[in-house]
Amino acid sequence: MDERLLSTVQSMVASYFKECFNWAMEKTLATKLLGGTPSAAAEAIGITPQAYGQWPDPLPRRLEDRVVAAIARRHLRPELIGGSPRIKAKRCSKLKEVSHG
């Protein structure tokens, strides 16, 4: 492979990876994924609609993570993402008994 062709291929691959891994989620997509309305999206995340309205577009990585976490909580079994609230409550009460007992 000649130098020019190799350089072109490397440039194309680098550009492809940059696009794939530096993609930022748009707020409209987050809204659709979380229920279709800003109010539903805010409720899924656990914030007020006013707070959701202040989110920037496109979303920074930390807010994308909140969207993904809300989707995971909605669609994955509790044991896959850290247990159910009842299990956590039992663990917490046992810890209190140990620390006070």
Q: By C-alpha distance, which of 20, 19, 53 is closest to 39? A: 53
At 85, the pLDDT band (50, 70, 90 cuts) reads low
Domain count, the chain: 1
Average pLDDT over every residue of 62-83: 85
End-to-end CA distance of the chain: 74
* 78 lies in some domain: yes
Question: What is the average per-residue pLDDT within 84-97?
Answer: 55
Domain with 88 in it? 26-100
% of the chain beyond a pLDDT of 90: 44
CATH of residue 86:
1.10.260
8-state DSSP, 80: G
- 96 in a structural domain: yes
Residue 93 has pLDDT above 80, yes or no: no
pLDDT tens figures, 30-70: 999 999 999 999 999 999 999 999 999 999 999 999 999 99
